[in-house]
Structure 1
């Protein structure tokens, strides 16, 4: 007797931490998709504002939803916890203060039907200013910069490494985990888990790409990122931010040691330099004094990868930012 092929299952993991005003809209944007996932795993990461109680009230009896309550361990560990509990063939990490665009799961399955050996499905996103914070009288003096996360291509790549190179060269490689659905076996086979750091995606996503085979990329927007004052990315920076970027450099250097391909090495090097500049930005832009260990790691990296950008940023970080911003504007106009 020939067994009927089974449809691959999609597990969506949603870490929740102190997002009382946002979590219902976020979770509902997943549960009301025209095509449903196999399961939604909500990980309450020790919320103190009632978010954990709210998701229990709203979704505790929902047939697709599993809820896990943990002590606060950070976004990366909350994702790891959800991954360990997942039973699907594909994993998607969704943030609990953002909005999923209808059609995401439908498009994922359509692409998977055409490419059943797909390892990564990469899509695009846009950002929007948080109306809730504005309605509550948030700091109107703070300007919100809306970021576009567009791929500007519809491509199928034979490997994640090829996708990384092409996306890097078009400034469309974006590490944020909420832009990717990927085959869970990549994680189990290669022990791909998040480190307990800030900017964990900078460390995780390149490693994911370099163990992936077929990667499908679309410019279609299936994610709306909320820009809100007080989130992890909008809050004041500390040495923890620098440590996250340093660990990303470790991962990128590890990938570089495994390849002799000139194009790949060039793009990995460029990403390392970008993270070094982020560390310099924490030190100079936020006036954070590093521990001896972090400073030593930064000194070693700047010595190894020194270029004009690093030298300018070290000597006058503000002037480098102005120069870099102007250069980006010129490139955008030329494209």
Structure 2
């Protein structure tokens, strides 16, 4: 069934461009719809077709689905900066929830049977336990997490009413870059720790802020579950394969490695890989930051034909660093 065409929204962005690579490498045909507000046309592999459009442009999206005989959608388009979602919540409910509703309506109208959604561990809010499973309470503490949870609810209801099955993958902390150097995190002003750290290591930043060093963790800094973006992209392909094989079932799955590293451990890894020392700047905790947030990933390992290939902090950092250096050559 891998001769089918997949429409990838946000395929010119960080995670979306890696999913495009994974789909193409697996034999799928790919059409990307991206408005290029935060994505880059050059990040889309030349084997894919790029359509510059907003996903809520029903006419263009439906024409793309019909014209390319699309049978599955992977939905990455949206806004992803948590603090911005707090200061501009309506932007997030428009870009993430309202736009997703339009895309789902187009999918149903055109008879697309499979839908994969880029969700987030932010749907869990501030959990009572450091390890969270898919059955943990979903109580988002910011509009970003809520906008994603609302889309999950729409997917559930649409799948109950129409011949559509879906997989929603709740990402933990995505990092790294394509090992072959074909894509990576390229957006200016990124807030993800490993991206910020490799920017500091290559001279783009003078220091790295550490938000809180008094958490109840081994070294006092926050612990997070980091997943390599290429492993995450592979999980999307595996999820699509499963949806095709069993169209009667849908899935919500944590996408993480099931273990975590502290902020200081990550910065130590960057120092180790670069053989230099990044300046750490200790600042106060950010509101809502839990001490630790780690995935219970037993479900994704049991459900998908997927085994992480790059579950190693130095590997993740090394790939991110290689991309940062390559990005500097482009500028």
TM-score under structure 2 length normalisation = 0.27
